[in-house]
Amino acid sequence: MATSDALTALSLHPDLPPELLRDLLALPGVGGDALAHRTDLPRTLVDEVLTAPDRRPVVPLARNPALSTADRRILAAHPDPWARTSLAIHAESLPPDLLARLLDDPAPQVRGCLAQRDDLPAEARARLARDPDPEVRAKLAQWCTDAPEDVRRLLLTDPEPQVRGAACAVYFCRPPHPVPPADLWPALLADPVTRAGVVTHLRPLAPETAAGLAADSDEKVRRAVAARPELPPDLVEALARDEDPVVRAEVLVRQDAPEALRAEIHAYLTAGAALLRGDDLPAVLSDLDEGALMVAAGCELALASLEFRIVEWVRDDPLPHVESPFPVFRRSAALGGAELPAGTVARLLDDEDQEVRLAAAESTPVLDAETTERLERRHRHSRKRPLRPADLHPFPPEALRRFATDPDPRLRELAPRDPLLPPELAAALAADPEADVRRAVAGHPRLPLPSLLALLDDGAAHVAREAGRNTALPAAEVRRIVTEALRIRKREGASKSLEGGRGGA
C-alpha cells in the first residue's frame, strides 16, 4: 500500500476524483498540502472545512491562493488564531476591510505575522509601529526595512530595547539594510542595544570613537568596528588578538592587514576549529574545559563566517590573490574567473577547497564535460549550499546515461536529468540501494509503471513523496491506489473498534 507521504503527494494529483479527495483528506497525516495548494477544491469541501469543529484543516486552507475574498473574511473571524495567522502570512492580497480586521486582531502573533509582509501600505506600517505589543513592533523593524522614515524613527526611538535593537541591527530579514537618520547616530551609539547596528553607518568614524568601540564588551560591536576600513594600525593589531574569534576573522579580510598578521589569525582559527573536527570528538569534549570549548566553538563559527564570504576588494583585483594561502581570498578571486588567464582558472578549478572550485566553475561561462565530471567526483554535498557543479554546467545525455551505472551514487543521482533516459536504466535506478538515487528517478516521466508503483511504498519518505508527485502516473492508477488505501484504512479502523469493544466486554 502507498505510504502516507505518497498519499499526501497523490492528493495533489490533477486526476484525483473530488469524492476521493474528500475521503483522502480525512486520513491522519494526509491532505494538508492539497488544502493549501489545490485550486480546484469542491465548494462543499471548502464549506465543510470552514465550519468543521476540528480546526486543524483550516490552517492549511488559509494558505490556498484560490480562496475567495468572502472565504478569507470568514477566516479572519475564525476562533483559531493559527488560522488567522496563516491568513496574515499567505493571503496574496488583503482588501482594506480585511487588512483592518487583522490589524486589530486580538492575538499578537497574527499582527506580528502581518508585520512581516512586504506589501503593507504606509498607514498599516505606521499603525504596527505603534502596536501595544513590543514583539509586533520588533518584527516590523526587522522585516519592513523599506518603511518610511517616520516609521523607522518611531522604531529607532521606541521605549522598548528589543524594538530599538531590531530597528538598528547588524542583521535584517530582507534587504535593503536601512540607514538610520544621521541626527539619531549619537543616541544610537550611546545605546547598548543599537550600538553594533549603527557602527557600520557612522561617517566619519573618529579615532577616539573607534578605540572606544574596539574595547566594547559586546563582541557584535567589536566585529562591526573591525570591518571599518579607516582604523589605525595599532587598533588593527589589537583586534587581531581579540578574545572573540569572529572579530579576528574580520581583521583577516581587511585590505590593510599585514600578511603575517593574517597568517597568525588563520593559524589560530584553524587550530581551534580542528579540535572539534576530529574522529575522537567525544574524548576531546571530555578533556576540554568550558573556556577552551567556547574558544574552539568560536573558531569554528569564525571559519564558517568566512566560508561563503565574498571579499569585494579581492574580487575587484583577483590576480594577486589566486594563490593566497587563505581560501576566502582564493574563492573571492575565483569569482572573477572571466577576467583571469586560462591557466589560472584551471588551477582554481583544481583547488583543494571545494568552495574555491565551485566559485571558479560558477564564474566560468563554459566548461567541458570532462572537467565538470572531475569536479563532480570530488564534490561533497553541503546542506548549507546544495549547489553542485552539474547545476552550473549540465552534462550531455551520453554522459548522464553512463552515470546511471557508475559506482558513485552521487553520479548515479545525475542520470535522471536526462529527459529521454531509457526506461531500463530508470528502472535500475529505481531499485538502487541509495535512497537519494531512488528519489532522483522517482519523478522521471519514463520510469516504468511497476517501478513507480514500488516507489510509492518506499521506506524513505522523500522517495515515496517524489513518486506520488510523478505526473506520469495514469489516472486509473491514482484512483485504484487511493481507493485501496482508503479501504485498508477503513478495515484497520473497524478492526481496532472491534478489538476495543471486545476489551470492554
Question: Which residue blocks in 394-448 are alpha helix, DSSP H?
Answer: 397-403, 409-412, 423-430, 435-442
Q: Measured between alpha carbons, how far is 451 from 463 in angstroms, rounded to an integer?
A: 12
Q: Measured between alpha carbons, how far is 251 from 261 in angstroms, rounded to an integer?
A: 9
Beta-carbon contacts of residue 139 (< 8 Å; ≥ 6 apart) = 112, 113, 115, 116, 166
| In a shared domain, residues 301 and 320 | no
| 452 belongs to a structural domain | no
pLDDT given at position 278:
67
Q: Measured between alpha carbons, how far is 25 from 41 in angstroms, rounded to an integer?
A: 11
pLDDT given at position 383:
86
Beta-carbon contacts of residue 421 (< 8 Å; ≥ 6 apart) = 400, 401, 404, 415, 441, 444, 446
Question: Which amino acid is present at 398?
Answer: E
Q: Measured between alpha carbons, how far is 374 from 195 in angstroms, rounded to an integer?
A: 48
Residues of 274-300 as b/e, b for ≥16 C-beta within 10 angstroms?
ebeeeeeeeebeeebeeeeeebbbbbb
Structural domain containing residue 233: 224-307
Residue with cell 520588533: 138
Render pLDDT for 346-382 as a digit per residue (tens, 0 to 9).
Answer: 999 999 999 999 999 999 999 999 999 999 999 999 8
| In a shared domain, residues 275 and 341 | no
| 378 belongs to a structural domain | yes
| 31 belongs to a structural domain | no
pLDDT given at position 497:
46
Question: Could you tell me if 387 and 404 are in contact, meaning their C-beta atoms sit under 8 angstroms apart?
Answer: no
Question: Last residue of some domain: 347, 373, 392?
Answer: 392
| In a shared domain, residues 326 and 374 | yes
pLDDT given at position 86:
94
| In a shared domain, residues 377 and 318 | yes
| Averages of pLDDT over each 10 residues, the chain, 505 residues | 84 86 81 87 91 86 93 94 94 93 97 96 96 98 95 98 97 94 97 97 93 97 96 97 97 97 97 80 71 89 94 94 96 86 94 96 94 97 92 97 98 98 98 98 97 94 93 92 87 57 50
Question: Could you tell me if 306 and 328 are in contact, meaning their C-beta atoms sit under 8 angstroms apart?
Answer: yes
Q: Measured between alpha carbons, how far is 434 from 22 in angstroms, rounded to an integer?
A: 35
Of 373, 357, 473, nearest to 415 by C-alpha is: 373
| In a shared domain, residues 231 and 302 | yes
| In a shared domain, residues 264 and 320 | no
| 356 belongs to a structural domain | yes
Instruction: Determine phi and psi for 286, rounding to 5 degrees.
Output: -75, -25
| 297 belongs to a structural domain | yes
Question: Last residue of some domain: 392, 422, 454?
Answer: 392
pLDDT given at position 4:
84
Give 337-393 as a DSSP string: GGGS-HHHHHHHHT-SSHHHHHHHHHH-S---HHHHHHHHHH----SS----HHHHS
Per the rule left: phi > 0, alpha: psi between -120 and 50, beta: everything else, 31 is left
| In a shared domain, residues 317 and 244 | no
Cell matching residue 286: 571530555
pLDDT given at position 291:
82
Residues of 385-403 as b/e, b for ≥16 C-beta within 10 angstroms?
eeebbbeebebeeebbbeb
| 272 belongs to a structural domain | yes
pLDDT given at position 254:
98
| In a shared domain, residues 303 and 281 | yes
Preceding omega of 445 cis (within 30 degrees of 0): no
Question: Could you tell me if 239 and 248 are in contact, meaning their C-beta atoms sit under 8 angstroms apart?
Answer: yes
pLDDT given at position 505:
44
| 156 belongs to a structural domain | no
Question: Last residue of some domain: 376, 392, 408?
Answer: 392
Question: Could you tell me if 146 and 176 are in contact, meaning their C-beta atoms sit under 8 angstroms apart?
Answer: yes
| In a shared domain, residues 287 and 265 | yes
| In a shared domain, residues 327 and 303 | no
| In a shared domain, residues 338 and 298 | no
| In a shared domain, residues 254 and 289 | yes
| 375 belongs to a structural domain | yes
pLDDT given at position 280:
66
Beta-carbon contacts of residue 130 (< 8 Å; ≥ 6 apart) = 137, 154
In the chain, the number of structural domains is 2
